[in-house]
Structure 1
């Protein structure tokens, strides 16, 4: 995470987390697509909202989050996330929770994270997430869930958004092409324009399954 993006999340951890909606759009997709009991890793877990939500839905959920302030807020706001969040971030996650999940996870979720990566880091980031999926036998149909923002060019200044965060639009078609050699193909795609007017951003919710 670069300095400008880190500075934004310093502020967000102290001021913005309290204003978050109690339920994310991603959690609705998780509930629709992933069966109760499956193991899930939330990449870029933030303040733990989705990890806590997935645990409440009966999933075995863990998360990784590189910002210490956000992890601290998660443990404060969502006690069920204690012991389930690790310090790791893209493009190289390593093997988080190797003791708890030595074979990996049934599914990986990554919402509102990839836009902070430069295009040159995107292939490694997708490969890192794919490497954490356990062997496909008895796994759910959907293995990877991504939420990708598409911000209007008029709202960006170079590679920064209005909050000073690094921000790159990664086309869903590009992500799909990069995941194909990793053995993942598109299962479904949903476009959400709820904040298109207020935030100049269209959201792409992409679900991938084993090829």
Structure 2
């Protein structure tokens, strides 16, 4: 099975579903069975897609400081959900490969399967929106040409990243790569680790 291609289709299904309304408050769809790998991948991209548009909104210079603060809080919460879901996905992969005994000479990859999929999810969003810009008729021909050039690079990155993800999974399955994960241990959302927060509690 071409795992990366399957993930790519799921990511783009999420992006397409979001843009049916194109609103950051649209409830997440549930097209796959709860708890399935497909649903996890879909949820991962939905979080990324909503956050993509929140990042657009917060850059509107006409929004009020109060509005900007609320959006910043949403982005912070979204980042935490994204990290938590990526780590949950890595737990899924760890369990999936639990019976694999790595070879003595097995190496460790610089990133886990889930964090590679995180990059693929973001890349799907970049390609979707760059394609819109490359075809936007209200833009100048020069703008469309520049975006078409950028789109070509993104599509090359897609091919390379998907190939790398499939190779990584094959290498783990064959014992050539040892799967090892670390929690991100983000500190700024933790009231016991962020000095700004815990000093206020004194």
**Could you tell me the TM-score, scaled by structure 2's length?**
0.28
More strand per residue: 1 or 2? 1
More helix per residue: 1 or 2? 2
**Could you tell me the TM-score, scaled by structure 1's length?**
0.28
Larger Rg: 2
